[in-house]
Structure formats: structure tokens, C-alpha cells
Structure 1
Amino acid sequence: MLVLLTGCPLAENYTDDAGPRYSGDHRPPGPVATEVPSSVTFVAFNLAFSENVTEAITALKRPPLAGADVIAMQEMDAPSVDRIAKELGLTYVYYPASVQVDGGDFGNAVLSRWPITEDWKIHLPHDDPYHQRRRIAVVATVDIQGSLVQTVSVHNATPIVGLGGRLDQTEALIDGVDGRGPLQVIAGDFNTSDPGSLRQTVKLFSDRGYQWASQGVGDTVDSVIGGLPLDSIFSRGLSPLERGVDRRPSGSDHYPVWVRFAWQP
């Protein structure tokens, strides 16, 4: 009935909590570094349907993104995640949320220079009302010199679900890592394009004990209606030292956001 009323094909969602799941480890052979880092850098990067992987790799290899410890990516498919991880020498975990019209997968990944010891997928509430497309968050436990950082790569729905729906999605992903340790980073595309949505999202995180680690970096997408602050990084238990947006070409309509945290676990 929904298809007949709207003319929109329904999405094919991956509803299994356990998968599909893809992982790989392209870090150089040998023991993990034993020297304690003075800082760690996290990146949030929506690659726009994974269409321009070569340009994305170029962006991730140049400062300020070069050498990032953890990269949270959205709008990814498995081959693109594996290629980026191989080029950068990273380990990764990837879960698709749904299948695109062209048959390609669409989901989130966490890539890391440090071991990933555990991972899981969080189904977010409020599927797209027209396509019934589902959004997810991917959680990876990153082990940085014995200290565990719960890292979340999230892609909230577009404003079509309404601000209340997207705030419910944010609440769900916070609940999904609540109580799993003092160090947490939640990064990705929150689709905070409509008036008041970013302020409400920041307030929700603040009320739950997080800080807006990427505060003040500005817009992350250029659009026909102007710049939009869609992508953010939030943290708990880590102190930001520097933050920014790399606005040079990166193969996407989103600019990568980065935050360098002091490492004092």
C-alpha cells in the first residue's frame, strides 16, 4: 500500500543484529606500538555512497587527517572500506544498514590504528517513512595501550523523520554504549540541517554527560541553501586539544571533521 501511495520502492534493510558484518586487519605485521601516545586523533567522514574512494584516500593521507588513530565513516560499502584500510594500514569493522537502489550496500564503519577488541551494530528507531530505510550506528571497542575507547560511527536519518525522531535515534545510540567504560567517542553524520536541530542534539549529548568535541568547526556540507553543520564528534572522558574541518576536495559532499584529544587515560 505504501508503495502504491508514494510511488517509492521500499528499502531492503539488514535487520539481523549480527550482520552482515565485515572486518579486516591491514596494519603492518609486528607487535602493537608500546609507546604511550600523547594525543589521539578521531575523524568523522561521510563518503557520499563511497563513489570517490581514491580522492578520499588522498585526503586521509594528508595533514591534518594523516595518521588519524580512528576514522568513523558513513555511506560505505565493504570493498571501499577494505580498500581504504589497506591503503592506510588500518584494521576495521563494517556493518551495512541497507541496500541502495543500485544494489550496493550502505552502512557505517570504524577504522583504527589500534586493535578493535569488540564490535556491534545498533538499530536506530524511526525508519524513513517513504522508503522504510533503516539507519544504524556501529560500535567498536578500540584498545589504545590497554585503555578501551567505545567508538561509535553513526548516520542519523534525514529531516524527513522529524527532529523528534532523530533525537530518539541519538538517545538510542547513547543508550547502546552507556555503562561500557569512561572513554567514549561518538562521531558521524547527524543530519542536523534544520533550524534548532544542532542545538537540540548538542543539548541531548550534554545532558547525558558528553561534550561537543568538534564545537566551533563550522559547516561540513556546502549546499544550494548554504553551508550546513551536519557532521559532529562528541566525547566523554577525553579532552579535546584541537579540532577542525578539512575543506579541501575529499571525494564527498561532506568535509571530514577531526578532533585531536589529549591522551591521559
Structure 2
Amino acid sequence: MRFLFVLFLSVLVGACTRSGAPTAEANRLRVLCYNIHHANPPSRAGVIDIAAIAAVINAQKPDVVMVQEVDVRTGRSGKALDQAAELGRQTGLNAYFFKGIDYDGGEYGIAILSKYPLTNQRRIPLPLDSATRGEPRVLGLATVTLPGKRTVTLANTHLDAQRAPTNRQLQAARIVEVLRQEKHPVILAGDFNDSPDSQTLQLLKRVVEPSCQSCPPTIPVENPNRAIDFVTFTPKDRFRVIEHRVIPERVASDHLPVLVELAY
């Protein structure tokens, strides 16, 4: 009987491990979400300091970085500077840029940086209410294979910043549609431009789980009072939050970066 009981426990543990739920010995992934204000330190008008942004990233030793407000060859950033590529060079991470809009002779949007090779990159335009003057926004997707041969979809976005929430809600609903079609677990991060209790976040929570419940504020950098930058994931049972931390870096950008460590 003792042998049969031990055998039963072994099979049960094996089944739980194979289900994909993180265990105490699970691998860990460090995810950084950072709105970089096109590498312009708010206290230094007109200055572009990509090295300062890279230093913030390098100090946290992330595996994945979701970056918003990225310039690629714009006039204000020096015409020749591809900020996504340069961040990749200075951090040693693979970089992929997703254009949001044409801007100042170049492009402006979001980027994903990753320790692991990025594949299956996709740019999904997000909707706007035609009655508003909202700026076009996108969802950027890429696939990575993590240690343990776990395939994950990385998703980055920067939702509309207008005071009225109409566009953010439309965009959140579209993101939910897209992520429900993903066959791999997803980590979605970005500047959502809305609060944890907003309708925007409630829509997103139909498919993703935030890494924080009482989320520390991320903006403004001096005396921050609002959380609008988030890391989320799905399905809930494929990840476990080890740490959610807002980095008190107040010089390089007008947002505080968010670092989340996940077990998977």
C-alpha cells in the first residue's frame, strides 16, 4: 500500500508540473516597462540622452524591456539616431521598433528589447473615435523562447493620452480581442494612461492579470501620485509575481520605470 501511495503522489506531482503552473524551482523573468520621453530628460529641454536611458535599463538587469515614446530618425532626436537600435546596442539586448506615427521627418512609437531573440513581430493598429483628435496608437507583439523552452508572446502598447477615456477603452477592447487569439502565454506591458480602477483597466482585466493590486504610482517623477504604467500577463496560472517595484529614477524620463519579476 505504501508503494502505491508514493507512486500516486509521484504521478500527481508530475501532472501538476506538466500543467505549466510555476513551481518553487521555476525559471524567472525580469520585465521592465519604461516610458522614456524620447530620451529627453524633462529638466533639460531639447537634450537627447539615450545613454541615461540605457544606464537605467542596465542597472535593473532585465530580460525584457517594453519601451514607449521612442524616436527613430526624427529631427528632434538628431535625424540619424534610431533610438530603439541604439538602446539595443547599449544594453546588449535584441531590439524591435513598432511605428506609431510619422513624426518630425522620422518615426515615433514603441519598442521591445529582449535578451532572447525576437520572432513573429506584429504591429496592430489600435482604433480611435473619429470625433476625437486622438493620436494613432499601436500594439506591438513579438515571440520569444525562454529557458525551459517556454514560448511566450511579448506585447507592448501606449494608449491614448486624451483626458476623455473613449479612445483608451476602444483600444483596450481591441487588445483584448487580439490577445484572446494568442496561442502562447502573453506578457502585456505599457503606458496605459489610465488608473488601476478605470474602465480601461477593467476591460484589459478580462484577459490579463496585473502584476500589482495596490499599484505604486509611476508619474510624475517628483511626488508621484498616479499609477499608469503596468505589467500584466495571461493566463494567470502560468506566472507568479515575485516582485513588483517602481524604480525611483527621476532624471532620465518623466515616468518612473516599473520592474516586475515573474516566475514561469
With the length of structure 2 as denominator, give the TM-score of the two structures. Answer: 0.75
Q: CA deviation at 1:104?
A: 3.9
Q: Which of the residues 26, 29, 38 maps onto 1:49?
A: 38
Structure 2: how far apart are the matches of 1:188 and 1:243? 14
- Deviation track 1:73-128 (CA, whole Å, cap 9, x = no partner) reads 1110231111111111111211111123x434210111100121211011111168
Task: Give the % identical residues.
Answer: 23
Decide whether aligned partners of structure 1 residues 244 and 223 sit closer, same or farther in structure 2, where only a CA change above 3 A counts: closer
Quote the residue 2:68 is aligned against: 74
- State whether residues 214 and 243 of structure 1, in contact with CA within 8 Å, keep that contact through their aligned partners in structure 2: yes
Q: Which of the residues 208, 211, 222 maps onto 1:213?
A: 211
Q: CA deviation at 1:190?
A: 0.5
Is residue 2:62 matched to residue 1:60? no
Decide whether aligned partners of structure 1 residues 250 and 112 sit closer, same or farther in structure 2, where only a CA change above 3 A counts: farther
- Deviation track 1:110-162 (CA, whole Å, cap 9, x = no partner) reads 110012121101111116856553111111111113221111110000134x3
Q: Which of the residues 216, 229, 232 maps onto 1:231?
A: 229
User: Which runs of 5 or more structure 1 residues have no equivalent in the other structure?
Assistant: 1-35
Structure 2: how far apart are the matches of 1:231 and 1:82? 23
- State whether residues 98 and 123 of structure 2, in contact with CA within 8 Å, keep that contact through their aligned partners in structure 1: yes
- State whether residues 142 and 150 of structure 1, in contact with CA within 8 Å, keep that contact through their aligned partners in structure 2: yes
**Structure holding more helix per residue:** 2
Structure 1: how far apart are the matches of 2:99 and 2:27? 34
Structure number, greater radius of gyration: 2
Is residue 2:26 matched to residue 1:40? no
With the length of structure 1 as denominator, give the TM-score of the two structures. Answer: 0.75
Structure 1: how far apart are the matches of 2:169 and 2:252? 29
Structural mapping, 1:195-206, within 5 Å: 198-206=197-205
Decide whether aligned partners of structure 1 residues 85 and 127 sit closer, same or farther in structure 2, where only a CA change above 3 A counts: farther
Quote the residue 2:244 is aligned against: 243
SS at match of 2:183: coil
Structure 2: how far apart are the matches of 1:132 and 1:168? 12
Q: Partner letter of residue 231 of structure 1?
A: D
SS at match of 2:96: strand
Paired positions, count: 219
RMSD between aligned alpha carbons? Answer: 2.4
Is residue 2:95 matched to residue 1:95? no
User: Which runs of 5 or more structure 2 residues have no equivalent in the other structure?
Assistant: 1-24, 41-48, 73-81
- State whether residues 77 and 96 of structure 1, in contact with CA within 8 Å, keep that contact through their aligned partners in structure 2: no
Q: CA deviation at 1:241?
A: 0.9
Q: CA deviation at 1:249?
A: 3.0
